[in-house]
Amino acid sequence: MLERLFIRDFILVDRLELDFSSGFGALTGETGAGKSILVDALGLLMGGRAEASVVRNGCERAELSAEFACAGHDALADWLREQDFEPEEGVVIARRVIDAGGRSRAYINGAPASVAVPCSFWYCCCSDSTGPGLPSMLTCHWPCSWAGTFHR
């Protein structure tokens, strides 16, 4: 479950921290309020293609991170070990940094990861016994190169 989202110097956002841990969260607002910016940030954390244009004007880099509660999610803990990521106690932190030149780096629990790895992470994190959850919803809206990776 997504607990926290942190965004810095991304598109128009200077700095934003959202805490979803206290219960149900919904993104609402008028046209132009910035809902799409939050969804785009999650898309990049999922392994979506990054471009230099997402870095806020005048900034060196954009930073995105998301913290997930994963206590009791054995499949995710197994996946982290298989990928040589050190599982933290009950928490997984996915991070993405995009510099002004368009170079992108991804991290899971502080360890460098290829951009393809977050796709697998999200699939593992969001799947349940009924099949893919969040990723299958997002593939309808984002025709990115990673969209097909969730349907194996």
**What are the tens digits of pLDDT across the range 42-58?**
989 988 889 999 999 99
How many Cβ atoms are within 10 Å of 56's Cβ, its own excluded? Answer: 17
Its pTM stands at 0.75
Q: Which domain holds residue 46?
A: 2-23+31-150
**pLDDT score recorded for residue 143:** 34
On the 0-12 / 13-18 / 19+ scale of CB atoms within 10 A, 19 is exposed
Place of tokens 């997930």: 68
Specify the DSSP element, H or E, that contains 63: strand 61-69
Task: Output the DSSP codes for 66-125.
Answer: EEEE-TT-HHHHHHHHHTT----SSEEEEEEEEETTS-EEEEETTEEE-THHHHHHHHHH
More confident residue, 6 or 149: 6
**What are the tens digits of pLDDT across the range 11-39?**
999 999 999 888 787 888 898 888 899 99
SS3 for 139?
Answer: helix
**Number of domains within the chain:** 1
**pLDDT score recorded for residue 7:** 97
What's the CATH code of the domain at 42? 3.40.50.300
Q: How far is it, in rounded angstroms, from Cα 116 to Cα 114? A: 5
